[in-house]
Amino acid sequence: MTRTLDLAVIPGDGIGPEVISQALRVIMASLENTDVDVATTEYNLGAEHWLETGETLTTETLEQLREHQAILFGAVGAAPNDERIPSGILEREILLKLRFAFDHAVNLRPSRLFPGSVSPLSEPGQIDFVVVREGTEGLYAGNGGQFKTGTEHEIATEVSINTAHGVRRVVRDAFQRANARRKKLTLVHKHNVLVNAGKLWNRIVNEEATNYPDVTVDYLHVDAATIFMVTDPARFDVIVTDNLFGDILTDLAGAVTGGIGLASSGNINVDGTAPSMFEPVHGSAPDIAGKNIADPTAAILSGALLLRHVGLCEQADAIEAAVERDLAALVDAPAAPQRATTEIGDAIIAQLSA
């Protein structure tokens, strides 16, 4: 008797399709000799679809996506010089719309410096932390406006909206993760300036802390957090923060741990009311698209997060271990030529059965 893992796949734009096809290969390979079958349904969303139809993501497609167990997402985004596509529309109306519609409360972004991956820091230390980024609120609420637009008296606003409900569920998730790891939680905010949101985040972290007596809680202003990210990233275990600070810190964390080509993420619906979505942190990178040179590792590691999320923990661990061995093998081959996207996929699959 076999079980079926029913995945929606959104390859998207640029390098999205290339990296997602490697991620799928690795997922399949990890499930060989198990009783799990994978069924994939591909959804063609992104620049091309928009140019053909004028649609980003319809309610109908959204409802189809909702039926799947999980979503594997590549990247969306037009080339910066493509003037046919309004700037940011694909990101907002596809990626952000999915995060909001499927209530992806927790944007989970692990950062590890694997042996063999090269940090721009001269003494990076042992980096192994996760950023638990709030995924549905803050400055991403799309709440703001323009007044006297285009004049010398224009005023433009952006409103960060933070709810106790939204903050609590991400803080709780972060405490659970910290409790299962090295038991250290760092709240990152800017409460000396953003006093209202800051008080809410502080209150809820303090309230939840009483349920996790073994977790040490620490606080850093976001500006100071960026300093530690380059001077002592090994200090971090679990970081919990809002949507925008999480966006900024995880790109920096990706860079520090060997490049955004390795940074994976999961957009997690914490109460199971809609599918969670897994995607590399990197974007569509139109400049290197179609050349078979993009690094699929971030997408592959996002596949591992997906498998863990649906309870296939052994396979998730196996993929992460395979990536680790693949990168470690590079240590002894420092002068190796840049590997093709497909070669990296091959190598990780080979490591899976090594």
Does the annotation count 148 as an active-site position? no
| CB of 234 closer than 8 Å to CB of 189 | no
Dihedral class, residue 24 (left if φ above 0, else alpha if ψ from -120 to 50, else beta): alpha
Query: 297-309 vs 341-352: helix axis angle to the nearest 10?
Result: 40
Q: Based on the shown chain and the rule CB under 8 A, indicate whether residue 59 belongs to the binding site for its own copies.
A: no
| CB of 256 closer than 8 Å to CB of 229 | yes
Q: Based on the shown chain and the rule CB under 8 A, indicate whether residue 227 belongs to the binding site for its own copies.
A: yes
Closer CB to ligand IPM, 133 or 325, in the complex:
133
Phi and psi for 165 in degrees, rounded to 5?
Answer: -60, -50
First and final CA of the chain: distance in angstroms?
27
Of the residues 13, 43, 140, 242, which is catalytic? 140
DSSP 8-state assignment for residue 339? P
Q: Kindly write out the interface string for residues 242-281 of this chain, putting x where it contacts its own copies by CB under 8 A and - elsewhere.
A: --x--xx-xxx-xxx--xx---------------------
Of the residues 232, 251, 317, 346, which is catalytic? 251
Q: Based on the shown chain and the rule CB under 6 A, indicate whether residue 247 belongs to the binding site for ligand IPM.
A: yes
* Least gap, CB of 194 to ligand IPM (angstroms): 10
Does the annotation count 223 as an active-site position? yes
Q: Based on the shown chain and the rule CB under 6 A, indicate whether residue 96 belongs to the binding site for ligand IPM.
A: yes
Q: How many CB atoms lie within 10 A of CB 155?
A: 10
Q: Kindly write out the interface string for residues 280-319 of this chain, putting x where it contacts ligand IPM by CB under 6 A and - elsewhere.
A: -x--------------------------------------
Instruction: Pick one of its own copies, ligand IPM, none as the site partner of residue 156 (Cβ within 5 to 8 A by kind).
Output: its own copies
Rounded to whole angstroms, what are the CA distances from 255 to 21, 261, 284, 296, 334? 24, 9, 17, 16, 19
Edge-to-edge strand list for the sheet holding 238-241: 36-42, 3-12, 70-75, 276-280, 264-268, 106-112, 128-134, 238-241, 184-189, 216-221
* Interacting residues with ligand IPM (CB under 6 A): 91, 95-96, 192-193, 223, 247, 281
* Interacting residues with its own copies (CB under 8 A): 87-88, 91-92, 96, 120-123, 139-140, 142, 144-146, 148, 150-165, 168, 190-200, 203, 222-224, 226-227, 229-231, 244, 247-248, 250-252, 254-256, 259-260
Catalytic residues: 140, 190, 223, 247, 251
